[in-house]
Chain A
């Protein structure tokens, strides 16, 4: 399968990378002590690593081409196994019940520490599902998603600090405020082409962070706001452990609501309009879809979810500061959506679990976390743009006259 020619090519690639990474990987200078260290072993790692990766990439492309050739004559698109199982009610409900049971039993079976990590993962799942509406379903690349998250977190922190407002009161307020910001930002920008939206949302995210960092009178600057009260439960006194577990169940509840809403939305008139807008704007307008309004709803709905999670984040950590809302946070959420599969709910859940839990349990690799996120974004786009678990696309295909009439008779 792998020919000599391909090996030679891969050798050339690895040579090129040895040259490319030479100054940054091999030389390390210490400008204070004026010493130079030459790390030649790195050169070897680069050579071997790029050689293997390049061979693997070639093998992948060969396989993909073959698969495409095979698929050409059958019009049915391949649905991933997980989606196939989920589409059949006979499997779907027992599976969902089992997962729900496992999720509910989790804090009882494992320590509070594990439950706490799971809570974080659940938060990222909901954030991913929120961003999925914007990026995956409506096809609007939002790089400042974290700004809405920050709006939610800070609205709880500030309202709690100044007016002593409780978690349950602020939860909807935080979400609505974030949605309002979404509308305010989206209104001028959504008329523009997709790439501009990406940059403006990126800029907006940075503006929000910089304002939070510099406007000391308003947000207490980089030191942040601490001692935010935890969510209450009918005035019950709770120990720290109990509060953590309560938080976990709260997140499970919110996740269920989110999954339900997102799932219903996708099949609604609005959801179909989003999908159509993602595929072809001009055709959509010709069909009478109000482009700006539809996009705006997607944008603010995504922001609403980020706001909700922001409030929960502030309540969970009881402390917020601007450092939690950098661009990297947006990038992580985007990686979750892209890795899992844009537009696919199951995919986003899986993506969030992988990207949050893996670095948590493989502490040794946490240094390489961001590097891996970057690599995931690039690699997924090149090798598997549909994500780990692709969203289900409805495909209607013509199967010849005979089949059609047969189907009609069945009805």
Chain B
């Protein structure tokens, strides 16, 4: 039973990290109908930035709390800046191009960013400094759920609530929902659509950066290639929940996290990534609109 609960908890942790990345995919897709292939790379850059900042600060002997806050903020700032720039360079000029064009451009951006980090930093796996300490009060249940799992779950919950608030009640959130529903109409009622799209990329990238920081400190090492697999899995989660739908992305991520956790726990860990891909193929065959997504009807 303990093993089951352990797997369940690690599945939840995994799922909540996927959710942070999947939200970026689903929000961008909802607004401009583009699969932002470079999103996984933004997450990787978030993890790398926080790694660099945290290591530099710890070398200069700053206290742990300061390191966590500064690394998190820096990761969010730089990831958002990258997300914003990627949109401006690779997607904005192609807004009226045929569908294939922005998709190819996005793949190019993903390859470009990966190799940029590879060349600017290193191809080795780097040890990520331990940012989350083992809490003393967690001692009795430490064999089931670790301290970092708790921190990740709490952080993601807070972030999700903040995002829900942002989208439901703020001005920019309303503008985002309006743009997602009908871009032309949003333009007509005076919404600056370009700004909304930029905001979406910035928010999505900041979420991915937080995910990057959390998972890097959870796993303990990073590499320039982590974005690729994480990106695909998060995308799978977003499709599972119904791409374009924000609660769907969270639900899909949790399901994917749990599936992976149980599958690796009970079946085999060799095929960890195969489960996610197979799940993706299965959903697309049987229910391409996802669990909470709306079926799309195309008008001529």
List residues of A whose CB falls within 8 A of some B CB: 16-17, 19-21, 23-25, 27-29, 31-32, 34-36, 42, 135, 139, 141, 143, 188-189, 192, 194-196, 198-200, 202-204, 206-207, 210-211, 214, 282, 327-328, 331, 334-335, 338, 367-368, 370-371, 373-379, 381-382, 385
Kindly report which residue of chain B lies nearest to residue A214, judged by CB atoms.
Answer: B270
Q: Contact between A377 and B105 (Cβ–Cβ < 8 Å)?
A: yes
Known: A141-B104, A192-B284, A338-B104. A23 touches B52 (CB 8 A): yes
- Contacts A139-B100, A196-B239, A368-B115 aside, 5 further interface pairs with beta carbons under 8 A come to A27-B52, A200-B280, A203-B232, A207-B277, A382-B93
Q: Contact between A141 and B298 (Cβ–Cβ < 8 Å)?
A: no
Q: Can you show 17 pairs from A to B with CB atoms below 8 A apart?
A: A21-B120, A23-B49, A24-B45, A24-B116, A27-B56, A188-B285, A199-B232, A202-B232, A204-B277, A204-B281, A210-B273, A327-B228, A335-B108, A373-B111, A374-B108, A375-B108, A381-B102
- Chain A residues within 8 Å of B52, by CB: 23-24, 27, 29
Segment among B10-18, B121-129, B252-260 that sits at the interface with chain A = B121-129
Kindly report which residue of chain A lies nearest to residue B81, judged by CB atoms.
Answer: A20
Q: What is the CA–CA distance of A19 and B281 in the complex, to the nearest angstrom? A: 40
Segment among B82-90, B143-151, B210-218 that sits at the interface with chain A = B82-90
Q: What is the CA–CA distance of A207 and B278 in the complex, to the nearest angstrom? A: 8
Which residues of B from 44 to 85 have beta carbons under 8 Å from A?
A: 45, 48-49, 51-53, 55-56, 59, 74, 78, 81-82, 85
- State whether the Cβ of B201 lies closer than 8 Å to any Cβ in chain A: no
Q: Contact between B120 and A24 (Cβ–Cβ < 8 Å)?
A: yes
B103 to chain A, nearest CB (A): 6
A-B pairs, top 6 by smallest CB distance, nearest first, are A377-B108, A374-B112, A374-B111, A203-B277, A378-B108, A371-B115
Q: What is the CA–CA distance of A36 and B53 in the complex, to the nearest angstrom? A: 11
- Chain B residues within 8 Å of A17, by CB: 85
B91 to chain A, nearest CB (A): 10
- State whether the Cβ of B35 lies closer than 8 Å to any Cβ in chain A: yes
Q: Contact between B120 and A385 (Cβ–Cβ < 8 Å)?
A: no
Residue from A34, A206, A381 whose CB has the most chain B CB atoms within 10 Å = A381
- Chain B residues within 8 Å of A139, by CB: 100
B89 to chain A, nearest CB (A): 7
- State whether the Cβ of B168 lies closer than 8 Å to any Cβ in chain A: no
Q: What is the CA–CA distance of A382 and B298 in the complex, to the nearest angstrom? A: 27
- State whether the Cβ of B110 lies closer than 8 Å to any Cβ in chain A: yes
Q: What is the CA–CA distance of A249 and B257 in the complex, to the nearest angstrom? A: 52
A56 to chain B, nearest CB (A): 14
Residue from A23, A135, A371 whose CB has the most chain B CB atoms within 10 Å = A23
The contact size tier of chain B is 35 or more
Residue from A21, A375, A376, A382 whose CB has the most chain B CB atoms within 10 Å = A382
- Chain B residues within 8 Å of A27, by CB: 52, 56
A384 to chain B, nearest CB (A): 11
- Chain A residues within 8 Å of B239, by CB: 196, 199
Q: What is the CA–CA distance of A374 and B288 in the complex, to the nearest angstrom? A: 29
List residues of B whose CB falls within 8 A of some A CB: 34-35, 45, 48-49, 51-53, 55-56, 59, 74, 78, 81-82, 85, 89-90, 93-94, 97, 99-105, 107-121, 126-127, 129, 228, 232, 235-236, 239, 270-271, 273-274, 277-278, 280-281, 284-285, 288, 298, 300
Q: Contact between B126 and A31 (Cβ–Cβ < 8 Å)?
A: yes
- Chain B residues within 8 Å of A36, by CB: 55-56, 59
Q: Contact between B97 and A381 (Cβ–Cβ < 8 Å)?
A: yes
Q: What is the CA–CA distance of A349 and B288 in the complex, to the nearest angstrom? A: 37
- Chain B residues within 8 Å of A328, by CB: 111
Q: What is the CA–CA distance of A141 and B106 in the complex, to the nearest angstrom? A: 13
Q: Contact between B89 and A189 (Cβ–Cβ < 8 Å)?
A: no
The listed residue (B59, B82, B89, B236) touching A378 by CB distance below 8 A is B89
- Chain A residues within 8 Å of B81, by CB: 19-20
- Chain A residues within 8 Å of B49, by CB: 23-24
A192 to chain B, nearest CB (A): 5
Q: What is the CA–CA distance of A370 and B274 in the complex, to the nearest angstrom? A: 26
- Chain A residues within 8 Å of B89, by CB: 378, 382
Q: Contact between B277 and A29 (Cβ–Cβ < 8 Å)?
A: no
Q: Contact between B274 and A211 (Cβ–Cβ < 8 Å)?
A: yes
Q: Contact between B107 and A194 (Cβ–Cβ < 8 Å)?
A: no
Q: Contact between B277 and A367 (Cβ–Cβ < 8 Å)?
A: no
Q: What is the CA–CA distance of A313 and B29 in the complex, to the nearest angstrom? A: 39
Q: What is the CA–CA distance of A328 and B35 in the complex, to the nearest angstrom? A: 19
Q: What is the CA–CA distance of A199 and B36 in the complex, to the nearest angstrom? A: 11
Q: What is the CA–CA distance of A194 and B106 in the complex, to the nearest angstrom? A: 14
Q: Contact between A382 and B90 (Cβ–Cβ < 8 Å)?
A: yes
Q: Contact between B115 and A29 (Cβ–Cβ < 8 Å)?
A: no
Kindly report which residue of chain B lies nearest to residue A382, judged by CB atoms.
Answer: B93
Kindly report which residue of chain B lies nearest to residue A213, judged by CB atoms.
Answer: B270
- Chain B residues within 8 Å of A376, by CB: 108
- Chain B residues within 8 Å of A16, by CB: 85
Q: Contact between B108 and A199 (Cβ–Cβ < 8 Å)?
A: no
Q: What is the CA–CA distance of A31 and B278 in the complex, to the nearest angstrom? A: 37
- Chain A residues within 8 Å of B90, by CB: 378, 381-382
A3 to chain B, nearest CB (A): 21
Q: Contact between B55 and A31 (Cβ–Cβ < 8 Å)?
A: yes
The listed residue (B97, B127, B232) touching A31 by CB distance below 8 A is B127
Q: Contact between B115 and A214 (Cβ–Cβ < 8 Å)?
A: no
Q: Contact between A334 and B53 (Cβ–Cβ < 8 Å)?
A: no
Q: Contact between B235 and A199 (Cβ–Cβ < 8 Å)?
A: yes
- Chain B residues within 8 Å of A282, by CB: 298, 300
